[in-house]
Amino acid sequence: MNFLAPFAFIFAATLPVVVVFYMLKRRRTVRLVSSTILWQKFLAETQANAPFQKLRNNWLLLLQLLMLAMAVFALSRPYFAATTQEPGLVVVILDGSASMQARDESPNRFEAARKEALKLVDGLKDTDQMMVLLSAGNTVVRQSPSAEKTTLRRVIEECQPGDTPTRVEEAFKLAETLAKNRANVEVHLFSDGAIPTADNLASIKLPVVFHQFGKRANNAGITAMDVRPHPEDPAQRIVFASIYNASSNAVSVSAELRFNGQFMDTKVLSLPARDVASTVFAVEQKQNGVYTLKLKNDDDLATDNEASIISNLPRPVKVLLVSGGNRFLDKALRAVPNVELSTASQLTSGGKGYDIAVLDAVTPLSNPEVNTLAMNVATTNWFESWRMVEGPVIVDWNANHPLMRFVTWDNVQVAQTLGAKAPPWGLVLVEAQQTPLVVAGEKGRQRLVWIGFDSLQSTWPLRVSFPIFMANAMEWLNPQQSDVSQLTMQAGTPFRQPLFASHDIATITLPKGDKKEVKLGEKAKELIWSETYKVGVYKANFGTNETSFTVNLMDPAESDITPKAQVPVGAQGATAGAISKRANLEYWRWFVMAALAVLMFEWWYYHRRTA
């Protein structure tokens, strides 16, 4: 047994004083007291000639000494230390992602996690420190290492969840960095375990205690949404949506589609257990606006029951083809709907005045400044070095990229190609053993597609994949399409808007109608809004311009709210769930209750004898 306040034993000096009082002789003085059962023998003493008398057996003396001893023990705050070693630094990671808002806990998982975190603060030693991290769209250090329990409680109570995916990897990396050069560190993760598998988490060397929350997986949510032109009717748009049912039972939900708040259509969908179902709406659109799809379903998570997407009417795409003469490429581009094709023998002024520049085996006089498709072009600043590769054999291609939709590279032979190392901004779409053949990506705000070989020195123009790829490229490179894609983002992703004029202040209207002002510098070329933690439709106003953008969850891993008993963290690959324990078990309350029991016993004994 240990004592938190050993200085309180100084009050033990009062014990001999009580004994001295009982040794003093009393003069005959009548006093009225509430109980005389234990005082009768003492009052019977009539000798008063000497100041002291022989100490006799007296129950009242023993009870008073016992109560006083118990009071001294209570003031010294005795405790028994826990069997495990208490860390010198406790790192609390609160999972503030969307799934923590599930209502299978009362009132939701995040509130239950907050209560457990507060209990951990109560068990913190006075000499130890605690750090609080909130992991939502980004990891935020809500409290640096501190031993002030009042401050820690206030910080934890102020933490709020967002509508973002789970991104705890950043939190663990930050905790590992801040915990360097500390002897005793322990990380407590308060989460439902809905964490995507990340290989980097296995390298975490800190001891992790997982506090698991959640009871069931009653949820169906929108995981994907897209808008495309109708292939047969230009006046209509096709709205695609994917809905995931995380429940172990098949459910039926109603999906309601609205455009700018106006009802368009509704469908009743049957969702198989733990599976994805897709639906398609064909609707007319006469102006630019926002499509909103809402699920009417009584489940535990409301965040993923609604998704919105910007849809602008298509306009002609101005494409400049710079080529020495490639009839296959010319015909493939002219076959793409809504493309206005112009041809030239050289690129001037960086392609200004056009939406897309297509360079075919030419050396441009200036670097293109618009979205560009370049074939067999080496004189750009996109790659560090070049070489020639003879007879490259295609070994793999990325079928998941929008450029590769319905495109296969079987039976495509290439005579020779430019060889280069893929730049940091580029994603390899088609790969040979010696070099990438097709690279696509964004460099700054410019979209680029690079094809290393000359199509006329290959069998590709004779394959059906050639015109399909060109149609996909015109759609992906279309600045209108890329601008719209930048107006629909996942929660937690910053919104970025180029500024073509000088503005002092931008006003952001939040989904619930609240407005916030953002100060812009005189030389600001871009508006960046990072507080996209709630799903819905936002509006950005600067000057007379207004831009709407949407924030959605649309994350299958987050919609799957199935509680996990383990998380893939640590060298062992998983950390089992645990229950928080008090580090110091204090017993002073029991001594106070014992002293009270002694008083009650004396009161009961008196009334029993006098009844």
Distances (CA, A) of 456 to 335, 356, 415, 447, 462: 19, 21, 9, 24, 10
- Same domain as 205, residue 76: no
* Pairwise CA distance, residues 168 & 145, whole Å: 19
* Pairwise CA distance, residues 195 & 429, whole Å: 28
pLDDT at 72: 82
Share of the chain above pLDDT 90, in %: 53
pLDDT at 529: 92
* Pairwise CA distance, residues 431 & 438, whole Å: 7
pTM equals 0.69
pLDDT at 295: 96
Given the structure tokens 């324990």, which residue do they identify? Answer: 581
Q: 516 with 508: CB under 8 angstroms?
A: yes
| Domain end call among 484, 499, 526 | 484
- Same domain as 107, residue 69: no
- Same domain as 36, residue 152: no
Instruction: Judge whether 271 lies within some domain.
Output: no
Q: What is the pLDDT of residues 306-327, one digit of tens each?
A: 999 999 888 899 999 999 889 9
- Same domain as 454, residue 335: yes
Instruction: Judge whether 115 lies within some domain.
Output: yes
Nearest to 293 by CA among 222, 371, 197: 222
Instruction: Judge whether 558 lies within some domain.
Output: no
Instruction: Judge whether 260 lies within some domain.
Output: no
| Domain end call among 484, 506, 525 | 484
- Same domain as 577, residue 599: no
- Same domain as 453, residue 331: yes
The percent helix, strand, coil of the chain (3-state, each to 5) is 25, 35, 40
Instruction: Judge whether 474 lies within some domain.
Output: yes
Instruction: Judge whether 304 lies within some domain.
Output: no
Given the structure tokens 């960046």, which residue do they identify? Answer: 528
Q: What is the pLDDT of residues 267-291, one digit of tens each?
A: 999 999 999 999 999 999 999 999 9
Instruction: Judge whether 310 lies within some domain.
Output: no
- Same domain as 14, residue 132: no
- Same domain as 536, residue 470: no
**Residue 453 sits in a domain of what CATH number?**
3.40.50.880
Query: What residues make up the domain containing 524?
Result: 491-549
- Same domain as 479, residue 344: yes
| DSSP SS3 for 541 | strand
pLDDT at 378: 86
- Same domain as 478, residue 363: yes
* Pairwise CA distance, residues 519 & 460, whole Å: 52
**Residue 199 sits in a domain of what CATH number?**
3.40.50.410
pLDDT at 43: 55
pLDDT at 46: 46
- Same domain as 156, residue 93: yes
- Same domain as 136, residue 52: no
The total domain count for the chain is 4
The residue ranges of the chain whose pLDDT is under 50 are 46-49, 83-86, 573-574, 577-582
The DSSP line for 278-338 is: EEEEEEE--S-EEEEEEEE---S--GGGEEEEEE-----EEEEEEES--HHHHHHHHTSTT
Instruction: Judge whether 236 lies within some domain.
Output: no
